[in-house]
Amino acid sequence: MAVLVGKKAPTFEADAVIKGGEFQEKFSLQQYIGKKYVVFFFYPADFTFVCPTELIAFQKKLEEFEKRNVAVVGCSVDSKFSHWAWLNTPQEKGGIQGVTYPIVADLSKTISENYDVLAGEYDYNEEGEMEFDGEPASYRGLFLIDKQGVVRHQVVNDMPLGRSVDETLRMVDALSFYEEHGEVCPADWHAGEEGLKENAESISDYLGKRKE
């Protein structure tokens, strides 16, 4: 599994469904460079069991991300038509109707490969025929990308394990705090707490302040 933290996020142009039902060709994260942070997350497939809980959870907190100047973008190996159908299926019937952030169609699986979250790979069998070894879907990868297009945080879960949207917001807050104040964020840091200045105080002094 590749570690992309500290590196430029892989670029792409692909079909996407935006605003809950509009098709867009050549969608790219490059549109956010210099303007917004990006939370770019992968999920295994449309019309599955765990995935709608995640996509709907991100939608419920979308206003919180927007307050922090963050664009949320989802992606799976499904087609734009599958995304559109899922977006137009009511939530009580297993759909994600009401989700408004962009969902990218990675039908070729190249985006998932470039972010190294594809749960398998193409290879040649003994007969010289190309076949896919593994599951042709994405793990639950999530990448926090800064305004310069650099990955600052990544987490990859196996398919049965849903992610924490609140933890994603915490990481956005931590990155923003560091960029604004130049202070690092220790374990379990949350917005509103003090950060750590390098060599400014001992860890024990800092922990003592947190208990007060």
Any catalytic annotation for residue 185?
Answer: no
C-beta of residue 167 within 8 angstroms of C-beta of residue 191: no
What is the torsion angle, in degrees rounded to the nearest 10, for the CA atoms of residue 32, residue 43, residue 22 and residue 20? -100
Q: Each residue of 117-133: b (16+ CB within 10 Å) or e?
A: bbeeeeeeeeeeeeeee
43-48 average pLDDT score: 96
- The more confidently predicted of residues 196 and 44 is 44
Entry pTM: 0.91
Q: What is the pLDDT of residue 130?
A: 80
**What is residue 198's three-state secondary structure?**
coil
Strands 103-105 and 14-18 come out as antiparallel
Residues 6+ apart with CB under 8 A from 49: none
Best CA proximity match to 68, nearest among 32, 38, 29: 38
Candidates 2.30.30.40, 3.40.50.880, 1.10.10.10, 3.40.30.10; CATH matching 14-162: 3.40.30.10
- The more confidently predicted of residues 116 and 126 is 116
Catalytic residue among 14, 16, 29, 51: 51
Per-residue pLDDT tens for 75-104? 999 999 999 999 999 999 999 999 999 999
Q: What is the pLDDT of residue 61?
A: 98
Per-residue pLDDT tens for 132-144? 788 899 999 999 9
Domain ranges of the chain: 14-162
Per-residue pLDDT tens for 140-188? 999 999 999 999 999 999 999 999 999 999 999 999 999 999 889 889 9
Beta strands (DSSP E) in 37-117 are 37-42, 70-76, 103-105
Q: Which of 111-115, 124-128, 201-205 tops mean pLDDT?
A: 111-115
At 15, the pLDDT band (50, 70, 90 cuts) reads very high
Give the span between the Cα atoms of 33 and 52, in whole angstroms. Answer: 28
Read off the tokens for 179. 């960029």
Q: What is the pLDDT of residue 132?
A: 77
Give the span between the Cα atoms of 194 and 135, in whole angstroms. Answer: 44
